Amino acid sequence: MFRTVGQISEEEIEAASLRSIETLDQMPDVRWIRSYYSAEEGKIYCEYEAPSVEAIVEHARRAGIPFDHAEVVRELEPGMFA
């Protein structure tokens, strides 16, 4: 999923991350795996494990963080095809 955040400071990223973690404590079925920030695009790309896209949207709403779009994806690794 991705969030459009524009140019943000390290402090803003940290504050949003802490709100996210606090919210996740109340949503044990949603797990934040990792995120990547692109200053050039002004977007944060996030990877979650969750029972549904709706659960990720609810997490963003509760945490007060932007939400633009999410897709359900399947993990692929080179070893799967050797």
Rounded-to-10 torsion of CA 56, 59, 61, 66? -60
Q: Please list the helix, strand and coil fractions of the chain in percent, rounded to the nearest 5, in that order.
A: 35, 25, 40
Domain range 2-73, its CATH number among 2.30.40.10, 1.10.10.10, 3.30.70.3090, 3.40.50.360: 3.30.70.3090
Q: Token pair for residue 20?
A: 């996210």
DSSP letter at 66 equals -
- The pTM of this model reads 0.87
**Which tens digits make up the pLDDT trace of 1-18?**
999 999 999 999 999 999
**Which tens digits make up the pLDDT trace of 20-72?**
999 999 999 999 999 999 999 999 999 999 999 999 999 999 999 999 999 99
pLDDT at 82: 87
